[in-house]
Amino acid sequence: MPSSIAAGLAGLTAYGAAYPRAQLFGPTLCRTGAPNKLAITFDDGPNPAITPKLLDLLAKHNARATFFLVGKFVRECPEMTREILARGHALGNHTDTHPNLFLCGPQKSEEELKRCADAIRLAAGVEPRWFRPPFGFRSPWLSQIVNRQGMRTVMWTRIPGDWRGKPAEWLIKRMNPIAENARRKLPPRTGYGGLTGDILCLHDGNHRHLNGDRAHTLSALEYWLPRWSDLGLEFVTMDETFSKTVEA
């Protein structure tokens, strides 16, 4: 195979595997159905150090979110998993051990999703409808596995990088585009037309271990939640936006 073709195929594969809005390896949900609907999502929990504080903060601002949980942590924190659901939030599947699924074969990938779904069902009594691949990486066979297990893949429009452990001030600035979008897309006394809203990817845990420090994520949301609300944004779960969600 000529090197130019090989390079092109490699680039296409990388695009399909990692780009959030790519549909090459199957459909993904990347936006909500209306610009005033903001879907806040959290990966890598539940996390005893942050998740309870986060639930209190979300309740204070009448904000609902979707939590993509890691199965091994669900088994260690079943009561917290039930609490997330009881507070009105949606539960999603983020695999059992958080591997890079692009490097996993079909059997390993299926086991990762199934074990996480089993953990959520045993802890909270519900089957997860939503799936997010660790690191956002997908494979050619992942979409069929997700469909077979009755889920849909959720990616994002905004991922500010809160796993990097930067100060809260840095993260607050990185989350400003959501406010900019709200100001641009929600002019007074006009309809929304065909515009769509953001899905924000944050992290309430650390996939390597429990009790990861995500205090900066909490602080950034303490800053932004009231301001986003003042701009007219509504905070919805993936369940709530499902019927209006568009693929992008």
Chain-centroid distance of CA 235 in Å reads 14
pLDDT tens figures, 96-142: 999 999 999 999 999 999 999 999 999 999 999 999 999 999 999 99
pLDDT tens figures, 149-190: 999 999 999 999 999 989 999 999 999 999 998 888 654 434
Tell me, yes or no, whether 11 lies in a domain.
Answer: no
Tell me, yes or no, whether 151 lies in a domain.
Answer: yes
Query: The whole model's pTM is what?
Result: 0.88
Tell me, yes or no, whether 12 lies in a domain.
Answer: no
Tell me, yes or no, whether 79 lies in a domain.
Answer: yes
CATH number (domain holding residue 62): 3.20.20.370
Which domain, by its residues, includes 147?
25-244
CA distance 227 to 82: 29
Tell me, yes or no, whether 61 lies in a domain.
Answer: yes
Tell me, yes or no, whether 210 lies in a domain.
Answer: yes
pLDDT reading at 246 higher than 50: no
Domain total of the chain: 1
SS3 letters across the chain: CCHHHHHHHHHHHHHHHHCCCCCCCCCCECEECCCCEEEEEEEEECCCCCHHHHHHHHHHCCCCEEEEECHHHHHHCHHHHHHHHHCCCEEEECCCCCCCHHHCCHHHHHHHHHHHHHHHHHHHCCCCCEECCHHHCCCCCHHHHHHHCCCEEECCCECCCHHHCCCHHHHHHHCHHHHHHHHHHCCCCCCCCCCCECEEEEECCECCECCCCCHHHHHHHHHHHHHHHHCCCEECCHHHHHHHCECC
Task: Give me the mean pLDDT over the 231-245 stretch.
Answer: 83
pLDDT tens figures, 20-62: 666 677 889 999 988 999 999 999 999 999 999 999 999 999 9
Tell me, yes or no, whether 37 lies in a domain.
Answer: yes
pLDDT reading at 9 higher than 60: no
Tell me, yes or no, whether 3 lies in a domain.
Answer: no
Catalytically active residues, by annotation: 43, 203
